[in-house]
Structure 1
Amino acid sequence: MSTEPCQCAGKEQAAFTPRPIVMCGPSGTGKSTLLKRLFAEYPDKFGFSVSHTTRKPRPGEVNGKDYHFVEREVMLQEISVGKFIESAEFSGNIYGTSYRAIEDVLASGKNVILDIDMQGVLILQRQLASGEQKLSGKPLFVFIAPPNVQELEKRLKGRGTENEESLAKRLDAAKRELEWGLKPGSVDAVIVNDDVEKAYVELKTVILS
């Protein structure tokens, strides 16, 4: 008698488990713009997994909303005890996605969106392939690409947050990410963001299908 309810509950839970959706692509491709539109149109379907970072907040960024801004020592300690699904270092700063951030969204009954860079995605994909991954459900990997590197450079310069050295590093990283992301089999879907309206329609088609 006691076994049947447990089996039914397990099946019901599996049937309604939201799907993790991993958004990746170089900085400056418009991922944040597309995600803001998605959350505004479907507030009950999607929630954002807020990443942790050791970098300082940029003007207008809110702790706990844009990122969880933490000290380097704190983040390294939490990574060492397994609190992060993935983490990577870029330009002297650590970025990572914690299990807690993902679980908070899943607990609300929403699909969880993860914004992860190439290093983090590769770690996540290796974990999935080896069976180490603790997430339930197979993530959908979506790569957002710029129309070309020249346009990406223009967008990054337009932010006004990069000096010559950091801009050069981001562009070098972007070229590597593009080489990886555009290679067949790296991700489930590639969206070229040369027009926001068109890219948003494509994104909805991919993740709502």
Structure 2
Amino acid sequence: MDDWSILPGRLIVVSGPSGSGKSTLVRLALERPEVRARLSVSATTRAMRPGEHEGREYYFLSRESFETQRDLGHFLESAEVHGNFYGTPAGPVRSALAEGQCVMLEIDVQGALLVREKVPSAVLIFVQVPSLEELEARLRARKTDSEATIARRLTNARWELDQAGLYDHQLMNRELDQAVDDLVSHLIRHGCGG
């Protein structure tokens, strides 16, 4: 059950620091007609943000429910990030890969490195930012986090940026349209286009 290498689909992992724009890049890439991939929906214990919907951005779980599912081995990866749990439900990903589909995970660096351990054939793509100052400006512009949370995210971002060399590909999100084009190119190169 744990041998992911025999599955004919392709697993693509996109990650980068909070505020790097990875969610926007993934959403826009998946809207492109030449891309043939589906997004895996992660589970989290963090609160739902305005405009988010259950089952679209995340499955929102209580800590107890999350810990139970984690302990039963229901996640491909899980980690605690910024005081909340995040995890990728393994069943839907495995089913899609078994059907030969491309599946994209948009997850944090910690989770991506765990996926690499379980699924060595996964393609890891890191979203770079022009500078930490730009990253801080983006986090502040979202107006969703407290000062303490922004400080924690920036501290975490420094560690995440240090891990970028462990990824198969890096793309710079300086100009959105170019970054989307770059992501689409990587997807097509790895068999997720048609």
Asked if Structure 1 and Structure 2 have the same fold, meaning a TM-score greater than 0.5 normalized by the shorter chain, the answer is yes
**Structure 1 counterpart of 2:143:** 160
Contact 2:44 2:58 in 1 (8 A): yes
- 1:200 aligned to which of 175, 180, 184: 180
- Stretches of structure 1 lacking an aligned partner (at least 5 in a row): 1-13, 130-137
CA 1:196–1:202: 2 relative to 1, 3 Å: same
Is 1:187 matched with 2:167? yes
| Structure whose alpha-carbon radius of gyration is higher | 1
CA distance in 1, matches of 2:147, 2:188: 40
CA-CA distance at 1:105 after TM superposition: 3.9
CA distance in 1, matches of 2:108, 2:26: 15
Contact 1:54 1:95 in 2 (8 A): yes
Contact 1:88 1:120 in 2 (8 A): yes
Task: Please show how residues 34-183 of structure 1 align to structure 2 within 5 Å.
Answer: 34-42=25-33, 45-103=36-94, 105-106=96-97, 110-128=101-119, 138-181=121-164, 183=165
What is the TM-score of this pair, normalised by structure 2? 0.88
Runs of 4+ in 1 over 4 A off after TM superposition: none
What is the TM-score of this pair, normalised by structure 1? 0.82
Contact 1:48 1:105 in 2 (8 A): no
CA 1:187–1:177: 2 relative to 1, 3 Å: same
SS in structure 1 at match of 2:163: helix
Kindly indicate whether structure 1 or structure 2 has the higher relative contact order, using CA contacts under 8 Å at least 6 residues apart.
Answer: 2
- Over the matched positions of the two proteins, sequence identity in percent amounts to 37
1:140-185 CA-partner distances (Å, limit 9, x unpaired): 100001111100000000000011100000000011100111x3xx
CA distance in 1, matches of 2:51, 2:72: 32
Letter in 1 for 2:152: K
Contact 1:49 1:113 in 2 (8 A): yes
CA-CA distance at 1:30 after TM superposition: 0.9
Could you say which structure has the higher helix fraction?
1
CA-CA distance at 1:207 after TM superposition: 1.6
Letter in 2 for 1:66: E
Contact 2:8 2:99 in 1 (8 A): no
CA distance in 2, matches of 1:85, 1:75: 13
CA-CA distance at 1:124 after TM superposition: 2.0
CA-CA distance at 1:83 after TM superposition: 0.6
CA distance in 2, matches of 1:43, 1:50: 21
- Stretches of structure 2 lacking an aligned partner (at least 5 in a row): 1-5, 190-194
